[in-house]
Structure 1
Amino acid sequence: MNWFDLASPWWLLVLFALAGLIAGYVYMQRRRHNRALKFANLDLLNRVAPKTQNRAQHIPIVLMVLALAVLVVAMAGPQADRKVPRNKATVILVIDVSRSMDATDVSPSRLKAAQDAGKRFADELTEGINLGLVSYAGTATTLVSPTPNRQATKDAIDKLTLDDKTATGEGILAAITQIKTLNAVLGGDQGAPPAQIVLLSDGKETVPDDPDDPRGAFTAARKAKEERIPVNTISFGTETGSVDLEGDRIPVPVDDESLRKIAQLSGGRFFTASSLDELNEVYKNLQNQIGYETQRGDASRPWLIVGTLLVLAAAASAVAINRRLP
């Protein structure tokens, strides 16, 4: 804690008054002790009031002073960063359903594992977030517009089916369109809640051939950057993945490079996962990042609790040791 962590630091000036009280108490104790030495029989005094008892009698006042100091700090309003659920936000889950997602290097298959993890992500996302779903292969399809209804998204995830080709740029652009449509309903981009895209794929874009094409993945990522919509990408699968196409075994290794660049261009984060457990961990990380925000807020409660406990301890020790309250 420092001066900049306090809402009302001027309350700490009370500590100077508290220091004055301590000095006055010490002075009065010394004055009383000197007066007793001047007029008392020392042998009799040591027998009647041993030193250990004299020290113990100060415990209540020490505890009370500590309690007052802690309570003064509480009054100064200590501040701290706290993670709190977002009241509003928009997330579009974009899932690749190209034929390569049928690879079984991830059990039972890339798509089945992606469906299981996607439904879990929907369940665990905080309530204040509108969640939408876009799937893409050769084209992109908006399956669920952003909504707080998690069941709609989960039902749509269950119905995902494979198709030919991979148009990653189309998937991103479709997600951007859904976010901007919702923002328009909410009153425009200026007052719109924060939005992010979570894109899961296993391979390189095949339509168009050039990712810098006007409808390509890199162009779409730049568009997302302009709209302040980060695209968090998840490269899902392994280097040894393959699929059976018309009797031929076709290798479909993951393509980390292009997905990493999409995240970089858009201002998002890049993740990799090669199993369902790893994918769940990635989604959990994203859920914490997207579903919560850090806010500066009051942190005086612990100080109030400690101060109150010290007051009670001071009162209890005063009754036990001195047979009276301080």
Structure 2
Amino acid sequence: MVSFVFARPSFLWFLIAIPLLILIHFLTLRSVSRRAVKFANFEAISRVTGNQVLSNNFGLLVIRLIIFSLIIFAVAGTTLWYQGEGTEFDFALALDSSNSMLVQDFFPNRLEAAKAAAKNFLDFVSSNNQVALISFTGIPTVEQELTTDHEAIRQKIDLLDIKPVGGTDLGGAIISSVNQLLQTEKQRVIILLTDGQGNIGPETENAIAYAAENGVIINTIGVGTSVGGSLFGNATRSNATAAILRLNEETLVDIAQKTEGNFYKAIDQKTLNEAYVQIASLTITRVSRNLTLHFLVIAIILLMIEWSLINTKYRTLP
């Protein structure tokens, strides 16, 4: 949304003088016309004005009105406000790649749905935003260090798969993500996507405190439903019992609240994509641009053009 703000709006009242300027223009035009008729040497007129006794060109009027308006807007201190991509954010994407992400309450499973949404997120952030990628199971792995090369991040996301290491280390994932973001002076944001089944590694509370101390915001996305799904889907195995894994919301809500972030619950692919888009929308900021100097420069250029025209093509007879 675009809007204009004026530091000295009272000067805008001078714009009501525009009709008066138009009237003066035509009165002057009429006066010059009368004097031109009295000029007896029409051959000289032809040489001077190019067969035009009087130029009734409205171009000069338009130029003068624009110059007048630009000066008024400049004096009024016009500032343009618009929505632009914020470049003051850098992100760490932390994706759970533990066995629980194979649950098929998403199609084809939680991990593949998360990968698709994470890649979609990259379409909504500025190319100037740095992004790091961390996967975590029983141990966290930095798949891609902080970079503005979003294509490299996409490729690393495509390569993500379930790790053979057991467990889910939420605390370690947070600490590794924070360590990546310590390289930047911008606002640090972690997007932690998991089913919340943290069970090993550093205490989550210690990791949260570490993030808060370093000014890192953690937005958490819970993937899964309250009902849960089977780790083996509809397959039947003679020697295996399908595990029913449900989303653990409490831990993720706690992480987000204690780091000034937000918790998003994703129950299907649509809500998962929406969660990432909402986080990306936080990087859309209101940008201001003072137009005073711009207006003055344009007004000066137009004044030079007008001066050139009235001394050449549109000059009038004495």
**TM-score scaled by length of structure 1:** 0.65
Amino acid at match of 2:83: K
- What is the SS of the residue equivalent to 2:261? coil
Letter of the 1:269 counterpart: N
Q: Distance in 1 between matches of 2:151 and 2:11?
A: 56
- Which sections of structure 2, spanning at least 5 residues, go unmatched? 24-64, 233-238, 296-318
Partner of 1:206, secondary structure, is coil
The answer for the alignment partner of 1:41 in structure 2 is none
Q: Does 1:273 align with 2:273?
A: no
Residue 155 of structure 1 aligns with which residue? 155
3-state SS of paired residue (2:77): coil
Which secondary structure does the structure 2 equivalent of 1:134 belong to? strand
Contact 1:15–1:69 (CA under 8 A) maintained in structure 2: no
Asked if the contact 1:100–1:202 (Cα under 8 Å) also holds between the matched residues in 2, the reply is yes
Cα deviation code 1:255-299 (max 9, x no counterpart): 111101100111111111111121111111112213x33223347
Distance in 2 separating the partners of 1:296 and 1:77: 12
In 1, Cα distance between equivalents of 2:180 and 2:230: 32
Change over 3 Å in CA distance of 1:274–1:243 after alignment to 2? same
2:195 corresponding residue in structure 1? 202
Query: Hey, which of these two has a bigger chunk of helix by percent?
Result: 1
| Residue matched to 1:126 | 126
1:5 and 1:78 in contact (8 A); partners too:
yes
Match of 1:48 in 2: none
For residues 267 and 257 of structure 2, the distance between their equivalents in structure 1, rounded to whole angstroms, comes to 21
Corresponding residue to 1:237 among 220, 224, 229: 224
1:165 and 2:167 correspond: yes
User: Is the contact between residue 122 and residue 150 of structure 1 (CA under 8 Å) also seen in structure 2?
Assistant: yes
- Residue 295 of structure 1 is matched in structure 2 by 287
Aligned alpha-carbon RMSD (Å): 3.6
Alpha carbons of 1:160 and 1:69: their partners in 2 closer, same or farther (altered >3 Å)? Answer: same
- Counterpart of 2:37 in structure 1 is none
How far apart in 2 are the matches of 1:70 and 1:227? Answer: 50
2: distance between equivalents of 1:17 and 1:106?
61
1:148 Cα offset (Å)? 1.2
> 1-side partners of 2:188 and 2:274: how far apart?
21
Aligned residue in 2 for 1:254: 247
Corresponding residue number in structure 1 for 2:77: 77
Do the aligned residues in 2 keep the contact of 1:169 with 1:217 (CA within 8 Å)?
A: yes
Letter in 2 for 1:178: Q
The correspondence for 2:278, drawn from 285, 297, 307, is 285
CA deviation string 1:203-251 (max 9, x = no partner): 231114xxxxxx2223212221221110010011112223347611211
2:179 matched residue in structure 1:
177
What is the CA–CA distance in structure 2 between the aligned matches of 1:260 and 1:88, rounded to whole Å? 25
Question: Aligned partners of 1:176 and 1:141: how far apart in 2?
Answer: 13
Q: Is the 8 A contact 1:93 1:133 kept in 2?
A: yes
Among the aligned pairs, what percent are the same residue? 26
Residues 110-125 of structure 1: pairs in structure 2 closer than 5 A: 110-125=110-125
Tell me the equivalent position of 2:203. Answer: 216
Q: Which moved more, 1:85-94 or 1:271-280?
A: 85-94
CA distance in 2, matches of 1:127, 1:14: 39
Q: Which amino acid aligns with 1:264?
A: Q
Q: Which runs of 5+ in 1 are unaligned?
A: 26-65, 184-191, 209-214, 304-326
**Cα distance 1:73–1:230, how it changes in 2: closer, same or farther (>3 A)?**
farther
